[in-house]
Structure 1
């Protein structure tokens, strides 16, 4: 297991023949560390419910992630509250060895793949990564457009290709 902010190792030998359910919740320190890692102002809540079962390739984890967090506007830095409610499907498979082991074939509708080494999977790190994938990469506050306009930044409509090519159309019409 690697040293991560929100680690919840789960032993593979605890997953029986059927499905097993696991609920994890990040504590205050873990949420603060993840906030730093992902560049967030705060994470108020992070929890996940897993339904685990073995299959021929490894372990399939289906479940639901819930998070309440605060991002910063990319323009103003204003706090922007966000809520994530996301169902997920993850397939934990053993790390490939360097001896040329066969590749794992996945179809388009298959799960996200997470590799593990040894006899444990890390449900906490999988939840943290699932949350990170759902974050808005460019969150903007209601004030963002006004602040950009005051700084002289043109909107997409003002700087769009039709404006830039309007003069070219007139030049071509004169020929």
Structure 2
């Protein structure tokens, strides 16, 4: 993420990596009232009433480990009734960060490597990049919150029922057929 794209985020909290120690550093974030409307718009929800995140960060050399919890109160629109309804989210977060150069080196195949794509289900995710010595905790919060949202939210107790099939209108030729038969 570049500095210019950070300016467009509704919830940005950059943290310099050098402020993180070997011992866990606790960081608590809370969206201010003015940021909540922008967060709701960014996430595509009806409204956001509260957004808090508590993180614990520790550093080992150039790598950073982040663990924490996001708590959010918002309203989503029901896909059946289109009415907004309240949603409470508690989202666990666990990420590793590494410098951009280290991640680029891991992604670059050597000359003798064959191109072979294999998906390992139990393999850990690669680390996220540390950009210009900074981790944006606001961006992490927004990304995990967006992933936790139900893409097809349904208000509790509302069920989708398929509309009854329409009875076909009588064909205009049916009257002619009746005349032909002499009915």
TM-score, normalisation: structure 1:
0.73
Report if the CA contact (8 A) 2:30-2:52 is conserved: yes
Give ranges in structure 1 of 5+ residues lacking alignment.
153-175
Give ranges in structure 2 of 5+ residues lacking alignment.
109-119, 166-183
Q: Quick check: 1:129 aligned with 2:143? A: yes
Q: Aligned-pair distance for 1:127?
A: 0.7
Aligned to 2:112: none
Pair member with larger Rg? 2
Report if the CA contact (8 A) 2:22-2:60 is conserved: no
Per-residue CA deviations over 1:137-162 (Å, capped at 9, x if unaligned) read 1012234524xx3476xxxxxxxxxx
* Number of aligned residue pairs: 148
2:68 aligned counterpart, secondary structure: strand
Q: Aligned-pair distance for 1:97?
A: 7.7
Aligned to 1:89: 94
Deviates more, 1:64-73 or 1:84-93: 84-93
Q: Let me know the Cα RMSD of the aligned residues.
A: 2.7
1:102 aligned counterpart, secondary structure: helix
TM-score, normalisation: structure 2:
0.70
Per-residue CA deviations over 1:116-154 (Å, capped at 9, x if unaligned) read 3101110011011111111111012234524xx3476xx
